[in-house]
């Protein structure tokens, strides 16, 4: 299922091919997020045109709307959304924790935050808030963001929903903890995630036999920002019979590479590793260097809809007045559909006029940028020039 073609010498990084029932994924690869069975503002042909190989849809969102049974009856996620390539679904856990319960708002807010003073944060951590998540050994109760109705996800339920959705790669149900959480809580949560991982494996095994769907199940490593917890989690999860692994949880930005390294030094080398929710160009390069094969993140498309666009010199905001009469592409030399056919002046006009095509052109550009970055990384690894590529990219790219 996963074939490593080449490794970076003196690092954990590698180039590989991840086979799925719907085509191969050349890794390292960026996975495009299509939350509700649609990459926002793009038709599938435009997603392919932007160089995307694989789309990840969110179990939580699809469970609530239109419901996994509709997608199952429709012939599964691929057919429902007319996406010809590989697909992934997440477990629903992250959203159940971050959107479904009050405390969770902090969860998303703090991901990627810079240098939070952890002691202060730990002190301020309110265990009462955690309780609002209603986490039990069995699973997690949460409220719908659509109508406030109450729902209960268990590891088994997550597997059943993901089986109905029918993606090629699915994820085990894990507990996503707040970066506020103190170590004692993380220990408990991590141990529970390991027990849930086993329940996911069992349920998935049963469903596979019943429905003969060749889905690959990835286990998720947790453990927050603590080396011992991360390594323990990598050891436990890495020893289970998963098709691949996800590195989950929240890390402060500058610790990401370190935490990923701890984990990937332990996880079995021959299996693919997905880094959840990471998509900034610099983080992608560091993630690959430290042994991750695939990455997903809403950032490129969400930022695009806000007019924030990648260029090789860093991000720009197309609403800046100077773009109103700049008759050049957004990023000189960029091969994307948007840069090949439209000026900054036109994209700027679309954003100022609140036209829907603004989001489309901007999303194509940002996705192409990341997909092209991954393609350059792959090439540099194959040519033994990864570190030159990295140095050169980081020298130009000012965040």
In sequence order, the β-bridge partners of residue 18 are 2, 25
Are 272 and 244 within 8 A, CB to CB? Answer: yes
Q: Is the peptide bond before 244 cis (omega within 30 degrees of 0)?
A: no
Name the segment binding a second copy (CB under 8 A); options: 91-99, 230-238, 311-319, 340-348: 340-348
Name the segment binding a second copy (CB under 8 A); options: 34-42, 212-220, 236-244, 380-388: 34-42
Q: Which tokens hold the place of 331?
A: 């990023």
DSSP tag of 322 = G
Q: Which helix (H) or strand (E) holds 142?
A: strand 140-143
Name the segment binding a second copy (CB under 8 A); options: 8-16, 77-85, 98-106, 221-229: 77-85
Compute the least distance from the CB of residue 15 to a second copy, in Å: 33
- 324 contributes a contact to a second copy by CB under 8 A: yes
Rounded CA separation 189/133 (Å)? 13
Are 330 and 341 within 8 A, CB to CB? Answer: no
**Angle, CA 317 vertex, CA 313 and CA 318 arms, to 5°:** 110
Compute the least distance from the CB of residue 329 to a second copy, in Å: 12
Q: Which helix (H) or strand (E) holds 55?
A: strand 55-57
* 296 in active site: yes
- 328 contributes a contact to a second copy by CB under 8 A: no
Exactly one of 90, 164, 168, 293 is catalytic; which is it? 90
Compute the least distance from the CB of residue 340 to a second copy, in Å: 9
Residue from 9, 150, 325, 383 touching a second copy (CB under 8 A): that is: 325
- 126 contributes a contact to a second copy by CB under 8 A: no
Compute the least distance from the CB of residue 96 to a second copy, in Å: 18
Instruction: Count CA atoms within 13 Å of residue 376 on its CB side.
Output: 18
- 11 contributes a contact to a second copy by CB under 8 A: no
- 352 contributes a contact to a second copy by CB under 8 A: yes
Q: Which helix (H) or strand (E) holds 296?
A: strand 294-297
Name the segment binding a second copy (CB under 8 A); options: 35-43, 182-190, 195-203, 306-314: 35-43
Phi, psi of 86, deg, nearest 5: -65, 150
Compute the least distance from the CB of residue 374 to a second copy, in Å: 24
Residue from 81, 167, 252, 318 touching a second copy (CB under 8 A): that is: 81
- 332 contributes a contact to a second copy by CB under 8 A: no
Rounded CA separation 209/117 (Å)? 49
Query: Considering only residues 55-74, where is the footprint of a second copy by CB under 8 A?
Result: 65-66, 70, 73-74
Rounded CA separation 356/360 (Å)? 7
Distances (CA, A) of 23 to 26, 86, 147, 374: 10, 6, 37, 18
Strand pairing of 29-33 and 294-297? Answer: parallel
DSSP tag of 75 = T
Compute the least distance from the CB of residue 342 to a second copy, in Å: 6
Name the segment binding a second copy (CB under 8 A); options: 90-98, 116-124, 239-247, 323-331: 323-331
* 283 in active site: no
- 319 contributes a contact to a second copy by CB under 8 A: no
- 355 contributes a contact to a second copy by CB under 8 A: yes
Checking phi first, is residue 129 left (phi over 0); if not, alpha (psi -120 to 50) or beta?
Answer: alpha
- 350 contributes a contact to a second copy by CB under 8 A: yes
Which residues make up the interface to a second copy (CB under 8 A)? 36-38, 40-43, 46, 65-66, 70, 73-75, 80-82, 324-325, 327, 341-343, 345-346, 348-350, 352-353, 355-357, 359-361
- The residues carrying an active-site annotation are 90, 296
């Amino acid at each position: 299922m996963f074939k490593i073609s080449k490794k970076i010498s003196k690092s954990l990084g590698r180039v590989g091919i991840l086979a799925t029932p719907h085509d191969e994924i050349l890794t390292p690869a960026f996975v495009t997020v299509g939350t509700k069975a649609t990459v926002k503002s793009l038709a599938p042909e435009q997603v392919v045109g932007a160089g995307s190989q694989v789309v990840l849809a969110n179990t939580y969102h699809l469970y609530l709307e239109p419901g996994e049974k509709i997608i199952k009856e429709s012939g599964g996620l691929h057919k429902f959304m007319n996406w010809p390539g590989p697909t992934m679904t997440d477990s629903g856990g992250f959203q159940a924790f971050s959107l479904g319960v009050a405390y969770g708002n902090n969860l998303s807010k703090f991901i990627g935050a810079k240098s939070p003073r952890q002691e202060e944060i730990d002190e301020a951590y309110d265990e009462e808030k955690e309780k609002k998540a209603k986490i039990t050994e069995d699973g997690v109760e949460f409220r719908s963001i659509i109508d406030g109705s109450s729902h209960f996800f268990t590891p088994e339920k997550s597997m059943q929903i993901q089986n109905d959705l029918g993606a090629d790669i699915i994820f085990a149900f894990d507990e996503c903890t707040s970066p506020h959480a103190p170590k004692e809580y993380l220990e408990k949560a991590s141990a529970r995630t390991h027990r849930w991982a086993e329940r996911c494996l069992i349920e998935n095994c049963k469903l596979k036999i019943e429905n003969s769907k060749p889905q690959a199940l990835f286990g998720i490593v947790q453990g927050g920002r603590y080396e011992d917890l991360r390594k323990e989690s990598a050891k436990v999860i890495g020893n289970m019979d998963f098709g691949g692994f996800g590195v989950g949880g929240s890390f402060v930005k500058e610790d990401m590479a370190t935490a990923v390294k701890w984990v990937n030094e332990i996880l079995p080398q021959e299996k693919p590793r997905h880094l959840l929710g990471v998509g900034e160009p610099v983080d992608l390069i560091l993630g690959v260097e430290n042994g991750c094969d695939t990455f997903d993140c809403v950032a490129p498309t969400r930022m695009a809809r806000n007019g924030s666009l990648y260029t090789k010199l860093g991000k720009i905001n197309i609403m800046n007045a100077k773009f109103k009469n700049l008759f050049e592409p957004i990023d000189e030399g960029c091969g994307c559909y948007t840069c090949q056919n439209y000026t900054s002046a036109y994209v700027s006009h679309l954003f100022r006029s609140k036209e829907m095509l603004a989001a489309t052109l901007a999303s194509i550009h940002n996705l192409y940028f990341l997909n092209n970055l991954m393609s350059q990384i792959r090439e540099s690894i194959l040519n033994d020039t990864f570190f030159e590529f990295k140095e050169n990219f980081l020298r130009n790219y000012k965040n």
